[in-house]
Amino acid sequence: MAAEGRPDIPRWANELNPDESPWLTIVGINEDGLAGLGERALAAIRQARVLFGGMRHLALIPEQPGQERRPWPTPFERAYAEILDLRRQPVCVLASGDPMFYGVGAKLAERLSPAELRILPAPSSVSLAAARLGWSLPEIRVIPIHRQPLAKVNLYLAPRARLIVLSADGRTPAQLAERLVAAGYGPSRLVVFESLGGPRERRFEGIASAWSIGECAALNLVAVDCQTAGAEATMAANPPLLLSRRAGLPDAAFIHDGQLTKRPVRAVSLAYLAPRPGELLWDVGAGCGSIAIEWMRAAAGSQAIAIEPVEARRAFIEQNCAALGVPELRVIAGSAPAALQGLPAPDAIFIGGGLTVPGVFESCWSALKTGGRLVTNAVTLESEAMLLELHARLGGELIRLSVEQAAPLGRLNAWRPAMPIALLCLSKQ
C-alpha cells in the first residue's frame, strides 16, 4: 500500500532518500568527555561545521579551526529554530547521556525526518546510577524534578519503591529529605550522586530523617530506597497514609470542609469515568478536588481541570494535589457554565455540583469529545428528577447507591445509612 494512503505514516515518509546522509548528529556525552565516546561520535564532532551544546559540554571538546561553537540560547526554545536554519550542512549537538531520555533528542526528532537525524547515545545518568547501586532499571521510577515540581514525588511513594530523582539544583536532595519525612518515609535511604561518570564524581548516603547536607553540587541526582517506620508507625498519633494508585482513596487523604465525594461513591464514579493515559477530565464543582486528583493518579500523563467557585475549597484543592503528587492539576476559579468557556475539550466530565443550574449540563455535553464519558451525581429530589429526564433522553446507565456503615449504638453497634446517591453515567456517541 502506498505511504500516501496510510494515515499512520508521516508525510515526509514519501520523500525519504535512502542514500541521503543525515546532516544532524546528536551525540550523548557524559562527564568523562571525549574518553567515553566511540569512533562514530568522535568523527561527528570533528566533521561538524557547527557544534551546539551547553557550556559544560562544549568545555569538554577541544576547539578546532573552522568550526563554529554555539552555546544553547536563552530561552532554550530558540535553539530548535537555530538548528533547523542550518539544514544541509554538518551539525553536531552535544547532549547529556542518552539524548532520548528527557533530552533534546526527542524534541529534535519531532521536527525532523529520520533520514536527517542520527542519534549516538551514551549511558544516561540513570543507567550509571543504577549500575553503581546494583538496581534493576525496569524496577526504578524516574522523576524529572528539573522539569516538574518536587511534589510530584508524592505520587510514587510506597514501601520498598525505588526512585531516582533528577534534581533541579543542589538544594533538591535536602528538600526531598524533608518531603519524605513529612510523608512518613523518614527511614528511607538516600544516595546522592554528583557529576556522575566523570573525574569529579562523588557520592553521599544517608537516611532522610537524619539528612544534614544543605546543598550539593548543582549537577546531581538522588536515588531513594523508600521505607516507612514499619509496624510501629501504625501506633503513632499520626501514622503515614500508605496510598494506592487505584480509585477510592480514604476520605482522610483529603483536606475538605465536608464537600467531598465519599470513598465508595468516588470509587464507583471513577470506574465509570475510566481514566486513560493522556486524557483530560473536567471536574465541575470540584469541592476539594478528590475526583480530579484520583483521575490524575490513576493513569500516566492524564490531565484534569478542577472548576470550583469557592475560594476556600480552591485552597483545599491546591493543598491536596500537592500532597497527593499531582501538582500539575489546573484549578479554575468560577462557576459553570460561564467558567467553562475557552477550556480545552475534555475526554471525560464529572459534574459534582451545579447540575440543576441552567446551562451546566448542556455546556458540558456539548464540549465533551465524541467517545467521551460523563458522570454526574444527584442527592436532592430536584437533581434526581433531572437525571431521570436525561436518562430518558440520552440513555446511559442510571444507578442508585445506598451505603451503610457500622457505628456505635450504646454499648453495641448498628448500621447507619448515608444519604442515597443516584449516578448517571453517559457515553457520547
DSSP string, 59-114: TTS---TT-EEEEPPSSTTHHHHHHHTTTTS-EEEEEES-TTSSSHHHHHHHHS-G
Q: Could you tell me which residues are beta bridge partners of residue 162?
A: 140, 225
What is the H or E stretch that residue 270 is in?
A: helix 263-273
Residues of the chain within CATH 3.30.950.10 domain(s) are 127-235
Q: Residue 329 in contact with residue 360, Cβ under 8 Å?
A: no
* pLDDT confidence of residue 235: 46
Q: Check if CATH label 3.40.50.150 holds for domain 251-427.
A: yes
Tell me which DSSP letter residue 14 carries: G
3.90.45.10, 3.40.50.2300, 3.40.50.700, 3.40.1010.10: which CATH number matches 3-122? Answer: 3.40.1010.10
* pLDDT confidence of residue 9: 35
For residue 230, give the 3-state DSSP assignment: helix
The Cα 166–Cα 163 span in angstroms is 10
Output the pTM of the full model.
0.86
The Cα 371–Cα 49 span in angstroms is 51
Residues 6+ apart with CB under 8 A from 190: 173, 176, 177, 180, 205, 206, 207, 208, 211, 222, 223, 224
Tell me which DSSP letter residue 254 carries: S
The C-alpha cell 561527528 sits at 44
Largest CA distance in the chain: 91
Q: Could you tell me which residues are beta bridge partners of residue 351?
A: 284, 376
* pLDDT confidence of residue 147: 87
Radius of gyration of the chain (CA): 27
Written out in words, the top-level CATH class of the domain with range 127-235 is: alpha beta
The Cα 361–Cα 386 span in angstroms is 10
* pLDDT confidence of residue 173: 98
Q: Which three cell numbers stand for residue 154?
A: 508524592
The C-alpha cell 539544583 sits at 169
Tell me which DSSP letter residue 205 carries: E
* pLDDT confidence of residue 334: 96
Residues of the chain within CATH 3.40.1010.10 domain(s) are 3-122
The one-letter amino acid at 314: R
Angle at 277 (CA atoms; ends 275, 283), nearest 5 degrees: 45
Q: Residue 287 in contact with residue 259, Cβ under 8 Å?
A: yes
* pLDDT confidence of residue 353: 84
Closest C-alpha among 64, 68, 60, 62 to residue 85: 68
The Cα 292–Cα 281 span in angstroms is 7
Tell me which DSSP letter residue 195 carries: S
For residue 18, give the 3-state DSSP assignment: coil
The C-alpha cell 505514516 sits at 9
* pLDDT confidence of residue 231: 53
The segments of the chain whose pLDDT lies below 50 read: 1-19, 234-237
What is the H or E stretch that residue 207 is in?
A: strand 202-207
Residues of the chain within CATH 3.40.50.150 domain(s) are 251-427
The Cα 321–Cα 331 span in angstroms is 10
Please report how many Cα atoms fall inside a 13 Å half-sphere around the Cα of residue 41, on the Cβ side.
Answer: 21
The Cα 304–Cα 260 span in angstroms is 17
